[in-house]
Amino acid sequence: MSYTAHLAAIGSAFLAARQRSSTLIPVRDGLGQLLAEDAHSKVDLPIFRNSQMDGFAVDVASVARVPAELTVTAVLAAGWSGSAEHVPGAAERIMTGAAMPVGADTVIPIEDTEPADVDGRIVVRSSRPVGAFVREAGSDIAKGSTVVPAGTYLAPRHLAAMACAGIESILVRPQLSVAVVTTGAELVAPGEQIGPGQIYDGNLVGLASCLIRDGARVAHAERSPDHPAELRKILDRIVGDVDLIVTSGGISAGDFEVVRETLSDGTFRHVAMQPGGPQGIAVYEGTPVLCFPGNPVSTLVSYEVFARAVIREDAGLPAKARTTSRLTQPLTSLAGKRQFFRGKLGDTGVTPVAGPGSHLVAAMASADCLIDIPEDNTDIDEGAEVSTWPL
Amino acid sequence: MSYTAHLAAIGSAFLAARQRSSTLIPVRDGLGQLLAEDAHSKVDLPIFRNSQMDGFAVDVASVARVPAELTVTAVLAAGWSGSAEHVPGAAERIMTGAAMPVGADTVIPIEDTEPADVDGRIVVRSSRPVGAFVREAGSDIAKGSTVVPAGTYLAPRHLAAMACAGIESILVRPQLSVAVVTTGAELVAPGEQIGPGQIYDGNLVGLASCLIRDGARVAHAERSPDHPAELRKILDRIVGDVDLIVTSGGISAGDFEVVRETLSDGTFRHVAMQPGGPQGIAVYEGTPVLCFPGNPVSTLVSYEVFARAVIREDAGLPAKARTTSRLTQPLTSLAGKRQFFRGKLGDTGVTPVAGPGSHLVAAMASADCLIDIPEDNTDIDEGAEVSTWPL
């Protein structure tokens, strides 16, 4: 089976994961979420007619001729909970954002005034037209109107606007909730004591961090013992809780293949690619399961080439742009296999990092891209143009 | 004071925030963190000599001539904790990743073999050179070598490699820890009952989500009452815990300016820009404080144009690229002020969204960029090229 055919098969498995009902969350948790329905303003914005400047609320008639001397009858601060009547011919000292006194129709900025000789009076030096520096109620948005439309991936400005509109909770499509299960009797958690034949498990943190980086929520992450009954116990515990399960290991042609045995209704194939030949797709109790091979490099590359694009798309993150680059050295690739070499981009082009071996995980740490070599290319010259995928 | 002069002043205030000692965290929490010192492998990788294929471990001498019939003396699974001796002239069934039996020097893939007529024996159809499909211990990386160098912003591949190398904890520069404090007697939390003269606070969620989006950690986020004693109480409680404090409101020329009064040693200026004229920088008990104005649009724009770049740089995130675009309609801008209009990018260019008023927060939600108009440009024609900053 070709890489592209398996990729297409994964795409359809994902359709199931997309059927998610929306959840109510506080606006403050909404960053990056997909708004599931229009958010309507609970209030007019501005809520009340208010001043745009620190200055004096007046009626235009009394400052028609300047300089004009007016009595200051009140001081109106933002947040003051009373409502004021404007005294015609007088002025109210008003702060930015404070409610306009009823009857006042313009604001004279403080810098256009000065204290008069008589205490409690000011001199207005220049006039303003009706409505100057007055923010009318509802001039930004009217109560009940849509502040942010459904289908928006929420950025800070959307959250701020919804909060200003009095909206506390919103319906969003929940993040894709994923479980990561790594398998392999030989796996030991980093930091634990290691015995003969055992290795440290890099796949749990590798897959979980890939998913988080690409906008998914990792609801479970654990190592499974290498027995179908144990793996089934783990799957039964997590399956109701997640939209997708990703496994590593246990799917190739060996005698002990725990994922393959447990998910016996799944489709397990050898895909014509390297690394990452063994691949599987299954459904467990209605939840799609992506089964990747267990070699750390195979696991990470499988995620990058099969899962990353669809996970990012689901989260509303932009696709990582693939580029082309020139090889700084010749490459030999296996005939009939799509090969994903690890590479490092530089000013002169892309240089393969270490060999193609799927155990070279330390070498992969120093790579920053995959070099994608099609099935029918076997000898690629130095300077040849190749497709590179950012890591 | 000009926009660029105030921006430069903020840059130096940030230098203080950067003097942070590194913290020890589990590798699994390391995504996006800056590694503070080289991470050394605790083991050789591979840890032990192992098979790259499912097949049979043999000595090359016994398969020099093929077909060769060999007795299978053992089955070696990955994770098996014993160590096996190779029986010269015989074969051991071996799984991918299983330790090579001592004395065997090559692996024959299972597809190059078939069962012999005699039970417990196999026929090898094609030979392999010494070392074929054998991963030597340390061939990826040697114990004690650097897996990931200091100064790396950690991606999944780094975390996976460190985990494989047995590394459980790493020293990283902690995320910038920030407190957000919004001020204004008129502010009410969205969802609460609103009284006359009050408005909903959009700045708390707006600033907090900006900071999170740009890689910082928001350690505190709260609304302060409009009294210096109350604000001081809040600052005293959080100051030891954060690298930076961001405030909104309370810094302009009104009679009740709580931030300005509380941080009386700070520098409060009117910056020649719109929105966001009033700006402040202070230091409270050694911690830098960025003081933004309180109008929701002014607050968000201030963050974008003064803080975003430095917060992202600190977090190791790439700068948001500014682009140029053509205006789809003429614009009038105030002389002597750098003006940041909200705009929406389209196929034909950039269109200003609503007016310049700093209270138009719902309108800002529908914008996707800022249009940056220099101080000396007042009448900009339709079709003119302008600088746009992505939101």
Looking at beta carbons, which residues of chain B come within 8 Å of A150?
A: none
Q: Tell me how many residue pairs between chain A and chain B have CB atoms under 8 A apart.
A: 329
**Within this chain, do residues A35 and A120 fall inside the same structural domain, yes or no?**
no
Residues B24/B326, Cβ–Cβ less than 8 Å: no
* CB pair distance less than 8 Å for A81 and B196: yes
Tokens in use for B287? 């911690």
CB contacts of B162 in chain A (<8 Å) are: 190, 202, 365
Q: Which of B262, B283, B315 is the last residue of a domain?
A: B315
Q: Would you place residue B80 in the very low, low, confident or very high pLDDT band (cuts 50, 70, 90)?
A: low
pLDDT, averaged across chain B: 92
- Residue A22 burial (10 A CB sphere; 0-12, 13-18, 19+): middle
* Cβ <8 Å between B48 and A367: no
Rounded Cα gap, residues A85 and A342, in angstroms: 74
Instruction: Please give the Cα distance from B236 to A144 (Å, whole number).
Output: 41
Query: CB distance B199–A164 less than 8 Å?
Result: yes
As given in the structure block, the two tokens for residue B64 are: 């020099």
Burial B85-104 (b: 16+ CB within 10 A, else e): ebbeebbbbbbbbbbbbeeb
CB contact under 8 A, B160 and A254: no
CATH number, domain with residue B332: 2.40.340.10
CATH number, domain at A167?
A: 3.90.105.10
Among B117, B124, B66, residue whose Cα is nearest residue B92: B124
Indicate if A199 and A302 belong to the same structural domain.
yes
Chain B nearest C-alpha distance from A376 (Å): 23
Long-range contacts of A70-73 (CB under 8 A, 24+ apart): A70/A121, A70/A122, A70/A124, A71/A120, A71/A121, A72/A120, A72/A121, A72/A122
**Percent of chain B residues topping a pLDDT of 70:** 95
In a domain, B143, yes or no: no
Q: A168 and A28 in one domain? A: yes
> How many domains is chain A partitioned into structurally?
4
Q: Is B154 helix (H, G, I), strand (E, B) or coil?
A: coil
B275 preceded by a cis bond (ω within 30 of 0): yes
Q: Are residues B37 and B58 in the same domain?
A: no
Tokens, residue B41: 């492998």
Residue A16 has what pLDDT?
60
Q: How far is CA B68 from CA A68, B73, B85, B222, B227, in A?
A: 114, 16, 21, 78, 91
Q: What are phi and psi for residue B380, nearest 5 degrees?
A: -110, 130
| DSSP symbol at A241 | G
Does the beta-carbon distance from A205 to B28 stay under 8 Å? yes
Question: In terms of domains, do B238 and B309 share one?
Answer: yes
Which pair of structure tokens corresponds to residue B290? 């960025």
Say if residue A186 is in the same domain as residue A303.
yes
Same domain, A156 and A209: no
For the segment B321-332, the average pLDDT, to the nearest whole number, is 94
- pLDDT at res. A96: 82
pLDDT 10s digits, B298-320: 999 999 999 999 999 888 888 88
DSSP state of A165: T
What is the spatial distance between Cα B310 and Cα B302, in angstroms, rounded to a whole number?
13
How many other C-beta atoms lie within 10 A of the C-beta of residue B202?
33
B144 close to A (CB below 8 A): no
ipTM here? 0.83
Residues 6 or more apart whose CB falls under 8 angstroms from that of B363 comprise A140, A141, B342, B353, B354, B355
**B141 CB within 8 Å of a chain A CB:** yes
Residues A296, A184 within the same domain:
yes
Q: Write the residue in B155, B158, B203 that is nearest to A160 by C-beta.
A: B203
Domain check: are A117 and A62 in the same one?
yes
The H or E element containing residue B26 is: strand B23-26
Residue B249 amino acid letter: G
Q: Does A122 touch chain B (CB under 8 A)?
A: no
Whether residue A89 is found in the same domain as residue A63: yes
Low-confidence ranges of chain A (pLDDT < 50): none
Closest in B145, B354, B359 to A135, CB measured: B359
**pLDDT tens digit string along B206-240?**
999 999 999 999 999 999 998 999 999 999 999 98
Q: Chain B, 308-347: which have a CB under 8 Å from a chain A CB?
A: none
Half-sphere exposure of residue A89: CA atoms within 13 angstroms, side-chain side = 0
Say yes or no to pLDDT of B170 above 90: yes
Q: What is the predicted pLDDT for the residue at A346?
A: 95
Domain boundary among B315, B335, B352: B315
Q: Which two tokens stand for residue A88?
A: 């015609």
- Tell me: do A130 and A198 sit in the same domain: no
pLDDT by residue (tens digit) across B289-300?
999 999 899 999
Q: Please name the residues between 31 and 60 in chain B that touch chain A, using a CB distance below 8 Å.
A: 31-32, 41, 43, 45-48, 50, 52, 54
Per the structure, the complete domain to which residue B268 belongs is given by 3-20+175-315
Q: In this structure, are B116 and B97 located in the same domain?
A: yes
Distance from CA of B188 to the nearest CA of A (A): 9
CATH code of residue A86: 2.170.190.11
Q: What average pLDDT score do residues B113-128 get?
A: 93
